[in-house]
Chain A
Amino acid sequence: MEKILEIKNLSVIRKQKEKFVPVLNDINFSIEKDELFCLVGESGCGKTSLALSIMKLLPKSFTVKSGEIFVNGKNILAMDEQSIRSMRGREMSIIFQDPGAYLDPLFTIGVHMKEAFHGDTKQQQVLMTSALKEVGLEPYMLHSYPHQLSGGQQQRVMIAMALINKPSLVIADEPTTALDILTTYQIINLLDTIRKKYHPGMLFITHDLKLATKIGTRTGIMYNGYIVEIFIPGKTRPAHPYSSILMGTEYKYSRISEATLSWQSDICPFFEKCPERDSECEKQIAFTWYQDMTGIRCIKHGRNSQV
């Protein structure tokens, strides 16, 4: 299969009060064409940072310590600003969490769509209108200001903008977190329809594991800047203790407090909170890969059990 996104050994650190804090550690995964890769984790675990690393839009205080990111086979971390800019919006695009804040309040939807469109200007008007129709909006909304639309409509605009150039990689960073439950399902259905039509590689970030297992072709679980498990919903069952907690099956999630940032890098990242930890876990734990592109970062739980 054609690899749209490939991340190798990515580590990102962040400067905080003259100290360096790890944000992403040893991230390895890839997304193929037509795949919907879901990334799940509690807030602050580094999901947005990962998304912004791929767009090469990390805030100034963040530094990529090591690793490589390939989009359509191009090593984007090695590219200069000019060439990466020509990829943004065309080959890869991103949909953000709070659609209201990501639209410039001074400009109409039409102006935003024009900015997003990078094609032949003769086709611009036609394509803009059809893109709006595709996400279920009326053409007259081109003349509306962002604040005149509902949250769901704003998110539809963001989706239309992200997809207008038919990029091969679409990142959606918690696109429904700011929306109510009904609107959430409408947006999910919309993304699904669009994926079936254009077959992009999609990175769908959410904190909702149930949602991820419902829609994802593959799902990664993130904890404290590490990917601790990757599984295929419906085919393999997550086995990592943290995944189990997220699934709400084996342990009471309420007993687990928020992840602390000051962890030791040379032991299992989940050690501090793991109900199954023992002295064996006090060493560096590598991510074990399996044939079907799934894997786990735990020595107690091996191959994901089959469903």
Chain B
Amino acid sequence: MKRFFQRLRNHSKLAYFSFWFLVFFYIVSFFADILAPYHFDYQFRNKPYQPPTKIHFIDESGHFHIRPFVYNMIIDDPVFRTYREDQSTRYPVKFIVNGPERKIFFVFKTSKYLFGVDEPAGIFLFGTDTYGRDIFSRLLYGGRISLSISIVGVLISFTLGMITGGIAGYFGGLIDQILMRFVEILMVFPSFYLMLSLRAMFPLNLSSIQVYFLIVLILSLIGWAGLARIIRGMVLSIKEEDYVLAAKSLGLSHWRILFFHIFPNTFSYTITALTISVPGYIIGEAALSLLGLGIQEPYPSWGNILSSTIGNLKVVGDAPWLLLAGVFIFAVLINFNLLGDALRNVLDPKNW
């Protein structure tokens, strides 16, 4: 593992950065319940489309304060939604604040968050949306859903593709024929229509958790077939390698050989392919959300935050911070691609 990081850094500083950037994103969104100042559906009804809150160190009379503070923002002109700062009261930014109880991933309870300010002021790092909800908090919670969908989806695809392709390629014969015909049938359908028709098989009014698992399932069912085919091809060639013959001559079992000698030798390819395919899951979820078939309001995902923005293009010009979800999707996509490209070389044992 240590050597892996060394190799990654030596190979490409950029990809090394991408790796930690993605780790950072995943960790931050995982801990959304602690890091977000507001719950994702907490609304400031009198603050729709508020621009990002300014954080001050120096007050209007020129005094410096060690503790940063914000001012309450009041709507100046309800038609054009222009805001002004009410400088009569300072609201210091507080760290480790108490608030309504939240459940971290539905399990651990917490009523302390990393930071916040007293109401009626609000701290909106990335501004607010139509309902006066904090975009920063929603992006954190949305990231948790979008990013976890992608990871869980990739893991399911990986497992299905690996086992199906591995068994088909290694044992060959009738099993191979049956599995591959099945895979080909799945691959015949264009993935977008397959996604829609799979979604259409289920009712629209599912609970959010059901929708979450349904999306994971749909996306990974689409992803695994292509992977299975490629892995089968790789297994076909790897099983003819001399080290596989040597492993057999040591008296190892078929399963041992498949799992310890054949699969690992596909990893330099599969891990790269999977890394590059992660953004596809985020985008797949976004596409479903855009059609109103994905995660439903008030639950946030990067996909539905972005789609509610795109459905409301008029205001984007005045409130460009609404597009940040798109920026996040794009950033994650770029970084996964950079990382995937580097992994192709780093995982190749010939370069060790």
Which chain A positions have C-beta within 8 A of B249?
55, 57, 88-89, 93-94
Which chain A positions have C-beta within 8 A of B250?
88-89, 93, 115-116, 161
Which chain A positions have C-beta within 8 A of B245?
57, 96, 102
Which chain B positions have C-beta within 8 A of A258?
none
Interface residues of A in 149-189 (CB under 8 A from B): 158, 161
Which chain A positions have C-beta within 8 A of B61?
none
Interface: A106 (CB within 8 A):
yes
SS of B interface (majority): helix
Interface: A267 (CB within 8 A):
no
Interface residues of A in 91-139 (CB under 8 A from B): 93-94, 96, 98, 101-107, 115-116, 118
Expressed in whole angstroms, the Cα–Cα distance for A174 and B282 within the complex equals: 55
Given contacts A96-B246, A98-B242, contact A105 B251 (CB under 8 A): no
A90–B243 CB distance below 8 A: no
Interface: A147 (CB within 8 A):
yes
Which chain A positions have C-beta within 8 A of B246?
96, 102-104, 158
Interface: A145 (CB within 8 A):
yes
Given contacts A106-B349, A145-B349, contact A115 B265 (CB under 8 A): no
B251–A145 CB distance below 8 A: no
Expressed in whole angstroms, the Cα–Cα distance for A88 and B310 within the complex equals: 65
Which chain B positions have C-beta within 8 A of A252?
none
Given contacts A96-B246, A101-B242, A102-B242, contact A88 B350 (CB under 8 A): no
Closest CB in chain B relative to A278 CB, distance in Å: 44
Interface: B319 (CB within 8 A):
no
Interface: B248 (CB within 8 A):
yes
Which chain A positions have C-beta within 8 A of B350?
105, 147
Which chain B positions have C-beta within 8 A of A104?
243, 246-247, 261, 264-265
Given contacts A104-B265, A106-B349, A145-B352, contact A90 B251 (CB under 8 A): yes
Closest CB in chain B relative to A116 CB, distance in Å: 5
Interface residues of B in 247-299 (CB under 8 A from A): 247-253, 260-261, 264-265
Expressed in whole angstroms, the Cα–Cα distance for A145 and B351 within the complex equals: 12
Closest CB in chain B relative to A4 CB, distance in Å: 17
Expressed in whole angstroms, the Cα–Cα distance for A93 and B251 within the complex equals: 9
Which chain B positions have C-beta within 8 A of A145?
349, 352
Interface residues of A in 36-91 (CB under 8 A from B): 55, 57, 85-90
The CB with the most chain B CB atoms within 10 A, among A98, A106, A107, A145, is that of A106
B264–A106 CB distance below 8 A: yes
- Partner of B248 from the list A86, A88, A98, A103 (CB cut-off 8 Å) is A88
Which chain A positions have C-beta within 8 A of B260?
115
The CB with the most chain A CB atoms within 10 A, among B243, B248, B349, is that of B243
B261–A89 CB distance below 8 A: no
Closest CB in chain B relative to A73 CB, distance in Å: 19
Interface: B241 (CB within 8 A):
yes
Expressed in whole angstroms, the Cα–Cα distance for A57 and B264 within the complex equals: 23
Which chain B positions have C-beta within 8 A of A89?
249-251
Closest CB in chain B relative to A106 CB, distance in Å: 5
Closest CB in chain B relative to A20 CB, distance in Å: 21
Of chain B, the residue at the smallest CB distance from A98 is B242
A103–B352 CB distance below 8 A: no
Closest CB in chain A relative to B160 CB, distance in Å: 23
Expressed in whole angstroms, the Cα–Cα distance for A47 and B261 within the complex equals: 27
Closest CB in chain B relative to A58 CB, distance in Å: 10
* Interface membership of chain B positions 311-352, coded 1 if the CB is closer than 8 angstroms to chain A and 0 otherwise: 000000000000000000000000000000000000001101
| Further contacts, 18 of them, CB under 8 A, given A94-B249, A106-B265, A161-B250 | A57-B245, A88-B251, A89-B249, A90-B251, A101-B243, A103-B246, A104-B246, A105-B265, A106-B264, A106-B349, A115-B247, A115-B252, A118-B251, A145-B352, A147-B349, A147-B350, A147-B352, A158-B246
Can you list 19 contacts pairing A with B, beta carbon distance less than 8 Å? A85-B251, A85-B252, A88-B248, A88-B250, A89-B249, A89-B250, A93-B250, A94-B249, A96-B245, A98-B242, A102-B243, A103-B243, A103-B246, A104-B265, A107-B264, A115-B247, A145-B349, A147-B352, A161-B250
Interface residues of B (CB under 8 A from A): 241-243, 245-253, 260-261, 264-265, 349-350, 352
Interface residues of A (CB under 8 A from B): 55, 57, 85-90, 93-94, 96, 98, 101-107, 115-116, 118, 145, 147, 158, 161
